[in-house]
Amino acid sequence: MYEDEHTLAFLTIDPLTPGHTLVVPKQQIDHLWDIDDELYQYIMTTAKKVALRIRQILNPERVGMAVEGFGVPHAHVHVFALEQTLERTVEIHILQGDQDPDHTALAEMAKKLAF
């Protein structure tokens, strides 16, 4: 969906909402807080680009961001559309991964959100 010299952004296979995207540094770093300041700012700049794209294309009430750090041993940021009815359940759903992904829907969303 998005790639530059330092980061990748792609749809998660277990989306909280349509367009739920992961922003990751290309450099393998396990813990977010071990990232040097320059790369950290770069990741946040990419996350903002993705958030603005989600807002532009999907027009949600808000776009949220979360860093939870348990899914894989590679620092990453979640960026996702939010509606008021969803706000209180975000943490619970990000940590769940029991459903099979809808690969067709993911491919369509990736195409829609591509830069």
pLDDT tens digits, one per residue of 30-63: 999 999 999 999 999 999 999 999 999 999 999 9
Q: What is the pLDDT of residues 68-93, one digit of tens each?
A: 878 889 999 999 999 876 555 555 45
* pLDDT the model gives residue 21: 97
* pLDDT the model gives residue 85: 66
State which fold the 2-113 domain adopts. Answer: HIT family, subunit A (3.30.428)
* pLDDT the model gives residue 16: 86
- Grade residue 99 by pLDDT with cuts at 50, 70 and 90: low
Q: Across the beta sheet with 2-3, what order do the strands follow? A: 2-3, 7-11, 21-25, 77-82, 62-66
Q: What is the pLDDT of residues 6-39, one digit of tens each?
A: 999 999 998 989 999 999 999 999 999 999 999 9
* pLDDT the model gives residue 34: 95
The span from the first CA to the last CA of the chain, in angstroms, equals 7
Give pairs for 26-33: CB < 8 Å, separation 24+: 28/74, 29/74, 29/75, 30/73, 30/74, 30/75, 31/69, 31/75, 32/67, 32/69, 32/75, 32/77
**Structural domain spans, the chain:** 2-113
* pLDDT the model gives residue 92: 45
CA separation for the pair 31, 19 (Å, rounded): 24
